[in-house]
């Protein structure tokens, strides 16, 4: 039974790969933030509760807060919207850091990897645990760069709620849309934080409109800004009709004034806030029947009498139902608006017990946890981040990994605090834990207490499945399947400094792959070289740097190449016979099949069997036949790229008695390759959806350059003082674009790339690619 569920998990991954076209994306930023030398940080964490003296009792309350008081939260946004700066402020105000980290100075807590500090971007998300006004917040800082989109997806799966951060001068940007869609997919309640209200060009209304239009969300304005850009001073709390001002004598923003708005001192602001509150009440009443009843019954005459708590409770319900999104604003850099954001996180986002995870009913309180991140620590070995859904986790406990069907023992249990970890004796459901000693667990695996508890859960799931097929399948998917892994669009060879170092390189790549499933490694069957496949130029560059820094290996990368695909345009029927004698045994098999275009797009070959093929034969050899077909389609006849959108129909297979199954598979594979070779062939290239944001003055050179890159411009939008060029461009033409764009626009433009589809190359482009390849090799 367990095996069948594992097969389900594996198949599910295959299915995911079939629709990767739409998921896979890559994005290259025009300019890295300041590169600077990495200075190792020494942070003073003595303020961390539980680390002071021997206060075991307080430590106990730290590690096991009531579940209703836990919030598992992520921060998501477009690159540079200010997620890391916001996280740093959150950590500072919650008392866990003593000084304000600064992305620009490279000393943030969550961006703790060396490259992150140097480049100023978040590469790997880090889980951070802290308390705010009696609530335990597990915050996961996710990367904004689309090359690391899998990191975002992986983290979203374990969140109960999220804060979407926006740049007030840009509104909704390309990557915001992607992460918003991912959050929709995982049904995650959200609140929006309009950041950078101090920045020139900041506009609260513009950002709210773009949330409404582009994200198709219903914004609930819980705050209004007091001033914008340079004039930004603070915010108005629409629910309580108070103004929150950060005074200039509190440089770190810790202290602020909260004062009721008065007719005498703030007539205009009061009028504006009253109007906004009335609109908010009407919006909430439209979305929540219970609140609508209350308002109609008791407060229809005067909304001012409606207590803030009643409104807040209804907003909490609406946020949970994802019927609308509360919107707040501030400036993380200028230390304004962060404390109310923390209040909103505790007030409006759900606790773990408010989230309905269907698969929990199968475990009946037994341990069930999901591994969402693996890190390799030189001293401690693999560190696995787990989200505990039910039961309790304890160190020295043997646990069962459902996906890998293995039992292993963790040695230590830690509470994650970026690169600081506190050792703890147990951790209950709802929390995020860090474990030491799990050597086989990889990202996306499900952990339970024992094999028998896994079997019990499987039985429950099957029973549930019979009753309600749909929801059980959904739950199985959640329980067992790994994270959907987009197919890489770039690849290159990687070589160790000497052959003797090949095993070290293999080890490093194995560890990195366990951490980052979007990194693919394969061997070139012809040259025997190791091939690195990644999500983008930056992704591969970072992996290269990590191998050097973390594993001490100076490796050499070959030129970066685009991952093309191949297909066929007509059907070809062919036969092949394999006749080989090994020792005293004769292996003889004859195959007849047809290869042609599939009716619909499919990454894997669509396989069919002619009626003449007997059931008996299929029962005995279907698996090896299909293995042969799949392996033949991995390397197309033109470039050796994977073949897609192809249908294979098997007409006959004649197997001589005593022939080994490996020979059957080899013959099928050879026959498919023969058919593919004979057919009319077509190369498919990755077509990227491109969005370039550029100052109006630089628009012309950007457009002229794109025209030379086979770009197809769809639309040019106006965003504040900038133009946003939206279109499509083949990936092969956009390699190294960041440098070109930087030169063309004096570093002022940014761009986002996302894989749109694989498109057929024109005969002319296809020929020139083939000529180029044949002259290179």
Residue 750 C-beta: closest distance to ligand GTP, Å: 11
Residue 329 pairs in a beta bridge with 194
Q: How far apart, in Å, do the first and last CA atoms of the chain sit?
A: 50
Interacting residues with ligand GTP between 156 and 195 (CB under 6 A): 195
The reply on whether position 535 binds ligand GTP by CB under 6 A is no
Cα 740–chain centre separation: 28
Cα 357–chain centre separation: 20
Nearest to ligand GTP of 145, 587 (CB atom): 145
The answer to whether the beta carbons of residues 630 and 673 sit under 8 Å apart is no
Interacting residues with ligand GTP between 508 and 527 (CB under 6 A): none
Q: Near ligand GTP by CB under 6 A, which window of 273-281, 327-335, 433-441, 483-491?
A: 327-335
Residue 490 C-beta: closest distance to ligand GTP, Å: 20
The reply on whether position 203 binds ligand GTP by CB under 6 A is no
Question: Among the residues of 186-266, which ranges form H helices?
Answer: 204-214
Residue 739 C-beta: closest distance to ligand GTP, Å: 19
Q: Near ligand GTP by CB under 6 A, which window of 326-334, 384-392, 601-609, 766-774?
A: 326-334
User: 139 — phi, psi (to 5°)?
Assistant: -110, 130
Q: How many CA atoms lie within 13 A of 542 on its CB side?
A: 26
Residue 123 C-beta: closest distance to ligand GTP, Å: 8
Residue 156 C-beta: closest distance to ligand GTP, Å: 15
d(CA 759, CA 610): 31
User: Which residue in the block uniquely carries the two structure tokens 């004034």?
Assistant: 257
Residue 331 C-beta: closest distance to ligand GTP, Å: 4
**Residue positions in the annotated binding site?**
77-84, 141-145, 195-198
Task: From residue 423, give the alpha-carbon distance in Å to each of 276, 391, 713, 745.
Answer: 48, 19, 55, 50
User: Which residue in the block uniquely carries the two structure tokens 């997919």?
Assistant: 185
Nearest to ligand GTP of 144, 596 (CB atom): 144
Q: Near ligand GTP by CB under 6 A, which window of 331-339, 446-454, 485-493, 753-761?
A: 331-339
Residue 232 C-beta: closest distance to ligand GTP, Å: 9
The reply on whether position 241 binds ligand GTP by CB under 6 A is no
Q: Near ligand GTP by CB under 6 A, which window of 139-147, 407-415, 569-577, 748-756?
A: 139-147
The answer to whether the beta carbons of residues 512 and 546 sit under 8 Å apart is yes
Nearest to ligand GTP of 193, 564 (CB atom): 193
The reply on whether position 105 binds ligand GTP by CB under 6 A is no
Nearest to ligand GTP of 104, 252 (CB atom): 104
d(CA 465, CA 593): 38
Buried b (16+ CB within 10 A) or exposed e, 241-258: bbbbebeeeeeebeebee
d(CA 291, CA 294): 5
296: left (phi over 0), alpha (psi -120 to 50) or beta: alpha
Nearest to ligand GTP of 190, 674 (CB atom): 190
Nearest to ligand GTP of 152, 360 (CB atom): 152
Nearest to ligand GTP of 144, 382 (CB atom): 144
d(CA 483, CA 12): 10
d(CA 492, CA 495): 10
Nearest to ligand GTP of 241, 546 (CB atom): 546
The answer to whether the beta carbons of residues 356 and 320 sit under 8 Å apart is no
771: left (phi over 0), alpha (psi -120 to 50) or beta: alpha
Binder of ligand GTP out of 14, 58, 98, 104 (CB under 6 A): 104
The reply on whether position 447 binds ligand GTP by CB under 6 A is no
Which positions from 74 to 103 touch ligand GTP by CB under 6 A, shown as an x/- string?
---x-xxxxxxx-----------------x
Binder of ligand GTP out of 199, 233, 565, 674 (CB under 6 A): 199
Residue 307 C-beta: closest distance to ligand GTP, Å: 32
Nearest to ligand GTP of 337, 637 (CB atom): 337
Question: Tokens for 220?
Answer: 């609930």
Residue 232, judged by CB atoms within 10 A of its CB (0-12, 13-18, 19+), counts as: buried
Residue 327 C-beta: closest distance to ligand GTP, Å: 16
d(CA 311, CA 291): 8
User: 124 — phi, psi (to 5°)?
Assistant: -110, 140
Residue 609 C-beta: closest distance to ligand GTP, Å: 50
Binder of ligand GTP out of 143, 486, 517, 637 (CB under 6 A): 143
Give the residue among 473, 418, 413 at the shortest CA–CA distance from 139: 418
The answer to whether the beta carbons of residues 679 and 646 sit under 8 Å apart is no
Nearest to ligand GTP of 143, 628 (CB atom): 143
Say whether 636 sits in a helix, a strand or coil.
coil
The reply on whether position 331 binds ligand GTP by CB under 6 A is yes
The reply on whether position 738 binds ligand GTP by CB under 6 A is no
Q: Who's near 185: CB < 8 A, 6+ residues apart? A: none
Question: Tokens for 589?
Answer: 């098999």
Residue 249 C-beta: closest distance to ligand GTP, Å: 20
Sign of CA dihedral 594, 598, 603, 608: negative
d(CA 28, CA 557): 19
Give the residue among 144, 156, 229 at the shortest CA–CA distance from 189: 156
Give the residue among 599, 527, 516, 603 at the shortest CA–CA distance from 558: 527
**Residue positions in the annotated binding site for GTP?**
77-84, 141-145, 195-198
d(CA 374, CA 435): 10
The answer to whether the beta carbons of residues 324 and 287 sit under 8 Å apart is yes
Nearest to ligand GTP of 144, 350 (CB atom): 144
d(CA 716, CA 362): 52
Contacts with ligand GTP by CB under 6 A: the residue count is 23
Nearest to ligand GTP of 124, 129 (CB atom): 124
Binder of ligand GTP out of 198, 237, 266, 516 (CB under 6 A): 198
Residue 163 C-beta: closest distance to ligand GTP, Å: 12
Give the residue among 626, 475, 501, 621 at the shortest CA–CA distance from 553: 501
Nearest to ligand GTP of 183, 629 (CB atom): 183
The reply on whether position 332 binds ligand GTP by CB under 6 A is yes
Q: Near ligand GTP by CB under 6 A, which window of 47-55, 140-148, 281-289, 636-644?
A: 140-148
Q: Near ligand GTP by CB under 6 A, which window of 240-248, 329-337, 365-373, 430-438?
A: 329-337
Binder of ligand GTP out of 74, 101, 106, 144 (CB under 6 A): 144
Interacting residues with ligand GTP between 491 and 510 (CB under 6 A): none
The answer to whether the beta carbons of residues 600 and 579 sit under 8 Å apart is no
Q: Which residue is nearest to ligand GTP (CB)?
A: 144
The reply on whether position 196 binds ligand GTP by CB under 6 A is yes
Which positions from 641 to 660 touch ligand GTP by CB under 6 A, shown as an x/- string?
--------------------
Binder of ligand GTP out of 120, 189, 437, 605 (CB under 6 A): 120
The answer to whether the beta carbons of residues 711 and 633 sit under 8 Å apart is no
Nearest to ligand GTP of 205, 570 (CB atom): 205
Instruction: Give the residues lining the site for ligand GTP (CB under 6 A).
Output: 77, 79-85, 103-104, 120-122, 143-145, 195-196, 198-199, 331-333
């Amino acid at each position: 039974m367990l095996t069948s569920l594992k097969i389900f998990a594996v198949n599910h991954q295959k299915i995911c790969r079939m629709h990767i076209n739409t998921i896979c994306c890559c994005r290259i930023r025009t300019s890295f933030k300041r590169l600077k030398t990495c200075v190792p940080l020494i942070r003073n964490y003595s303020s961390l509760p539980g680390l002071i003296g021997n206060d075991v009792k307080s430590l106990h309350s730290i590690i096991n807060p009531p579940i209703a008081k836990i919030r598992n939260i992520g921060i998501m946004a477009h690159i540079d919207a200010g997620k890391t700066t916001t996280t740093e402020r959150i950590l500072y105000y919650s008392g866990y850091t003593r000084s304000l980290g600064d992305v620009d100075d490279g000393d943030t807590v969550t961006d703790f990897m060396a490259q992150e500090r140097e480049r100023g971007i978040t590469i790997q998300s880090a889980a951070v645990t802290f308390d705010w006004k009696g609530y335990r917040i597990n915050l996961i800082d996710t990367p904004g760069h689309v090359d690391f989109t899998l990191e975002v997806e992986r983290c979203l799966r374990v969140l109960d709620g999220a804060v979407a951060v926006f740049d007030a001068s840009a509104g909704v940007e390309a990557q915001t849309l992607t992460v918003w869609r991912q959050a929709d997919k995982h049904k995650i309640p959200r609140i929006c934080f309009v950041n950078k209200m101090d920045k020139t060009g900041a506009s609260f209304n513009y950002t709210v409109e773009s949330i409404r239009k582009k994200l198709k969300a219903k914004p609930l304005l819980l705050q209004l800004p007091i001033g914008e850009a340079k004039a930004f001073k603070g915010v108005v709390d629409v629910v309580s009709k108070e103004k929150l001002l950060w005074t200039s004598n509190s440089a770190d923003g810790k202290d602020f004034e909260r004062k009721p708005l008065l007719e005498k001192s703030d007539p205009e602001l009061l009028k504006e806030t009253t109007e906004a509150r009335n609109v908010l009440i009407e919006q909430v009443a439209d979305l929540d029947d219970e609140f609508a009843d209350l308002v109609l019954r008791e407060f229809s005459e005067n909304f001012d009498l409606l207590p803030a708590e009643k409104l807040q409770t209804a907003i909490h319900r609406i946020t949970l139902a994802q019927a609308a999104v509360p919107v707040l604003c501030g400036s993380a850099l200028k230390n304004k608006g962060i404390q109310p954001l923390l209040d909103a996180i505790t007030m409006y986002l759900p606790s773990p017990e408010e989230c309905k995870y269907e698969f929990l009913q199968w475990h009946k309180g037994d341990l069930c946890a999901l591994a969402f991140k693996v890190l390799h620590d030189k001293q401690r070995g693999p560190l696995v981040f787990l989200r505990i859904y039910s039961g309790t986790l304890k160190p020295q406990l043997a646990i069962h990994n459902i996906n890998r069907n293995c039992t292993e023992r963790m040695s230590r249990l830690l509470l994650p605090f970026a690169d600081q970890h506190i050792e703890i004796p147990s951790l209950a459901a709802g929390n995020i834990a860090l474990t030491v000693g799990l050597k086989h667990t990889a990202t996306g695996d499900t952990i339970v207490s024992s094999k028998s508890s896994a079997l019990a859960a499987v039985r429950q799931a099957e029973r549930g499945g019979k009753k309600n097929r749909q929801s059980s399948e959904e739950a199985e998917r959640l329980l067992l399947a790994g994270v959907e892994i987009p197919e890489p669009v770039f690849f290159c060879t990687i070589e160790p400094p000497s052959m003797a170092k090949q095993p070290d390189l293999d080890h490093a790549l194995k560890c990195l792959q366990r951490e980052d499933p979007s990194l693919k490694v394969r061997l070139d069957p012809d040259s025997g070289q190791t091939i690195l496949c990644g999500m983008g130029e930056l992704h591969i560059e970072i992996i290269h740097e990590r191998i050097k820094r973390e594993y001490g290996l100076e490796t050499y990368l070959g030129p970066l190449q685009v991952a093309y695909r191949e297909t066929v345009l007509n059907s070809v029927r062919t036969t092949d016979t394999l006749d080989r004698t090994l020792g005293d045994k004769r292996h003889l098999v004859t195959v007849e099949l047809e290869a042609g275009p599939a009716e619909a797009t499919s990454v894997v070959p669509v396989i069919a069997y002619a009626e003449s093929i007997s059931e008996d034969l299929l029962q005995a050899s279907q698996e090896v036949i299909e293995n042969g077909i799949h392996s033949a389609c991995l390397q197309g006849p033109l470039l050796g790229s994977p073949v897609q959108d192809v249908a294979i129909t098997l007409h006959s297979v004649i197997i001589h008695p005593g022939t080994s199954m490996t020979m059957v598979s080899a013959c099928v594979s050879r026959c498919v390759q023969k058919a593919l070779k004979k057919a009319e062939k077509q190369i498919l290239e990755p077509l990227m959806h491109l969005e370039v944001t550029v100052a109006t003055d630089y628009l012309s050179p950007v457009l002229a350059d794109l025209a030379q890159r086979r770009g197809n411009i769809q639309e040019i939008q106006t965003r504040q003082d900038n133009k946003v060029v939206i279109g499509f461009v083949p990936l092969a033409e956009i390699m190294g674009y960041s440098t070109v764009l930087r030169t063309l626009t004096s570093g002022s433009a940014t761009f986002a790339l996302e894989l749109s589809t694989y498109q057929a190359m024109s005969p002319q482009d296809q020929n020139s690619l083939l000529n180029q390849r044949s002259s290179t090799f």
